[in-house]
Structure 1
Amino acid sequence: MLTERQMLILQVLIDDFIESAQPVGSRRLSQKKNVDFSPATIRNVMADLEDMGYIEKPHTSSGRIPSEQGYRFYVDHLIPYPSADQGIHFIEQVVQDEFMEFEQIVQKSAEILSDITNYTTIILGPEIFETTLKQLQIVTLTEHTAVTILITNTGHVEHRSFTIPAHISSSDLEKIVNILNNRLHGVPLIHLPQRVNVELHSMLRQYVDDYETVYEYVKSAIVGDYPIKLYIGGKTNILMQPEFNNIEKVRSFYTMMENEDEITQLFKGTPNGIEVRIGNENKMEAVKDLSVITSSYHLGDGNAGMIGLLGPTRMEYRKVISLLQAFSNEMSDALYVWFKQNE
């Protein structure tokens, strides 16, 4: 464990580097109001911190910058985590617009958080497989085409087009919709294939002519992959950071941001609450020069989504962790209000 003096010098050095993005020397640290040591004493402390791996020396400067190990110690031991009762009250104004859909609220929230922090925000919608079916509609487009519309309890809308066999009447379609809404309302989407296989076949057999053909068409229109929803704010904010003037780093980052499967990997295995991953603690190559801070939020009866902030390892951890904690709490509260209003 570091001494009190070493922790003070490390904290002041990291705070200064976060603000300036410039290597920090002993003379500069000696001028800080809460540092009462001479430059010579500070140089000795910095040498010890460098030997222990907490700071490092860039080749082009006599000053020092934090290492990833130094940032990790800073996050774990030198900044206080926020209390749960903090609030920022930004999302309340968004939710008060009664005409906004769930997806609009989440996207707007991503943009708000990105504007506040100047980092890139990614919000992972509640797992679509954990949401339930609220209503199903079949809308006839032409004589032989229709679209199935699934509306979930979170306000998510999924739709699929399908071809109507010539011998299926509009009255049969109406019966199908009534049966489906009666039997499948409140069923988690992940269970739809099983419920369709087990229950729908026998129900259609009782009420619909040529039920085998109808069953296959309806099954294809309902059962499928329901992608996780991503909401991104401030994708270009990374370009404002001085660390990212390397075109290869930028290209790698933007390639990842265009691939939803890769983005979701950022959240794989993240726990509820706040988690901070710094530099090489991230497994994905595209973010090994970044810090990723994640927090969970909740919707309705407990379906969880994730919020992530991506920025340089020289991130304002003290501000961002506090803000993200408050933001996720407020987002959970605000979406719960929306959820109750739209049940």
Structure 2
Amino acid sequence: MLSERRLEVLRAIVQDYVGTEEPVGSKALTERHNLQVSPATVRNDMAALEEEGYIAQPHTSAGRVPTDKGYRLFVDKLADVKPLTGAERRAISSFLEGAVDLDDVVSRTVRLLATLTRQVAVVQYPSLSRSTVRHVELLSLAPARVMLVLITDTGRVEQRMVDCPAPFGETSLADLRARLNSRIVGERFAEVPRLVQDLPESFDNEDRGTVSTVLSTLLETLVEETEERLMIGGTANLTRFGQDFPLTIRPVLEALEEHVVLLRLLGEAKDTGMTVRIGHENAHEGLTSTSVVAVGYGSGNEAVAKLGVVGPTRMDYPGTMGAVRAVARYVGQILAEN
């Protein structure tokens, strides 16, 4: 276990390397930080940190840089993340409140995260498997044609056309709408089939076929839309960090093009609290030179999806973690209000 002094030296090395992009030497550390020890003591501490694998020397004539292990300890020992300024918080709130629908919320969130962190932003759409029903609307388009509109608690809207086996009057349609909403509003999608299975039997014989058709369309919608979706933005930000990738940025870009990889990354993040995966902690080979910072978001106390950023391991972790957490909180508030 590292002593508090050596931990302070490691913190200083991480901060300087992230800020300057240059390997850090003992002289620079003693000049920039109030370590209250001599340069010789700092050199000894750096030698010990290197021996234990927390820092490394990229070139014989260079200073030291943090390793994945060093970044991990730095993140684990963070007392707090960097708070956003009042102006930043107001800008986030104003920008997200202008969204007109769920797609716009996700799109704005991606742009916001990429701008705030100057990293690649990834936002997962709210999962229908974790969503609840806010409302079901049934609209008559013709005597035997109905539009079904499903609205989730996260603001997601799905529309389907239903061709009925027989004409369905406005009174019967209103009755079905009322009974359907009374049974499933506020319920998880997974519970809907059980809750509506006996609903056709409560209608007259001439309407049961149409009721069954409407319910079949509703259940098919729940199944069809369970595929996970995400949006990515800010990939161009990686071009600023060319020197942070050992050989080439290409493997990172190729990994980011695979949505399955990104969904797996977000899926590995915890539903509650912040998840930070550094370097080789990322299983995908193309992302072993990156760090992933992710967190869950939702309209209540439970996460319905996740968002985060991908960038080089030489990352401003306190600032990035603070921005990701703040944006997730604001997105959750927007979803709850819509």
- Shorter chain as normaliser: what TM range? 0.7 to 0.9
Worse overlay, 28-37 or 81-90: 81-90
Matched with 1:207 is 204
What are the ranges of 5 or more consecutive residues in structure 2 without an aligned counterpart? none
CA–CA distance in structure 1, aligned partners of residues 261 and 145 of structure 2: 35
CA deviation string 1:297-341 (max 9, x = no partner): 3314645432312111111012122333333334434443x24xx
Q: Rate the CA distance shift 1:93–1:251 in 2: closer, same or farther, 3 A.
A: closer
Matched with 1:253 is 255
Question: 5 Å matches for 1:1-343?
Answer: 1-35=1-35, 40-59=40-59, 62-77=62-77, 79-82=78-81, 88-94=89-95, 96-97=97-98, 100-138=100-138, 148-161=148-161, 164=163, 167-171=165-169, 174=173, 177=177, 179-196=179-196, 198-203=197-202, 206-207=203-204, 209=206, 211-212=208-209, 215-216=212-213, 218-223=215-220, 224-225=223-224, 226-242=226-242, 243-244=244-245, 246-256=248-258, 259=259, 261-271=260-270, 272-300=272-300, 302-336=302-336, 338-339=337-338
CA deviation string 1:55-91 (max 9, x = no partner): 11225753221111111111122x3214999862333
CA–CA distance in structure 2, aligned partners of residues 325 and 194 of structure 1: 37
Matched residue type, 1:150: L
Matched residue type, 1:255: E
Q: Rate the CA distance shift 1:34–1:102 in 2: closer, same or farther, 3 A.
A: same
Matched residue type, 2:191: H
Q: Rate the CA distance shift 1:297–1:128 in 2: closer, same or farther, 3 A.
A: same
SS at match of 2:34: coil
Partners of 1:89 and 1:330 within 8 A in 2: no
Q: Rate the CA distance shift 1:231–1:251 in 2: closer, same or farther, 3 A.
A: closer
CA–CA distance in structure 1, aligned partners of residues 114 and 157 of structure 2: 26
Deviation at 1:291, TM superposition (A): 1.0
Q: Rate the CA distance shift 1:134–1:250 in 2: closer, same or farther, 3 A.
A: same
- TM-score relative to the length of structure 2: 0.81
Partners of 2:149 and 2:157 within 8 A in 1: yes
CA–CA distance in structure 2, aligned partners of residues 174 and 252 of structure 1: 50
Worse overlay, 295-304 or 17-26: 295-304
Partners of 2:143 and 2:169 within 8 A in 1: no
Partners of 1:106 and 1:231 within 8 A in 2: yes
Q: Rate the CA distance shift 1:241–1:95 in 2: closer, same or farther, 3 A.
A: closer
CA–CA distance in structure 2, aligned partners of residues 333 and 247 of structure 1: 36
CA–CA distance in structure 1, aligned partners of residues 250 and 301 of structure 2: 43
Deviation at 1:155, TM superposition (A): 1.4
Partners of 2:200 and 2:211 within 8 A in 1: no
What are the ranges of 5 or more consecutive residues in structure 1 without an aligned counterpart? none
Q: Rate the CA distance shift 1:143–1:212 in 2: closer, same or farther, 3 A.
A: closer
Q: Rate the CA distance shift 1:265–1:187 in 2: closer, same or farther, 3 A.
A: same
Matched residue type, 1:277: R
Partners of 1:161 and 1:221 within 8 A in 2: no
Question: How many percent identity over aligned positions?
Answer: 28
Matched residue type, 2:277: R
- TM-score relative to the length of structure 1: 0.80
CA–CA distance in structure 1, aligned partners of residues 59 and 334 of structure 2: 49
Partners of 1:148 and 1:222 within 8 A in 2: no
CA–CA distance in structure 2, aligned partners of residues 287 and 147 of structure 1: 45
- Pairwise CA RMSD of aligned residues? 3.4
Partners of 2:18 and 2:316 within 8 A in 1: yes
SS at match of 1:227: coil
CA–CA distance in structure 1, aligned partners of residues 328 and 218 of structure 2: 35
SS at match of 2:198: helix
Matched residue type, 1:201: P
Deviation at 1:117, TM superposition (A): 1.0
Matched residue type, 1:222: L
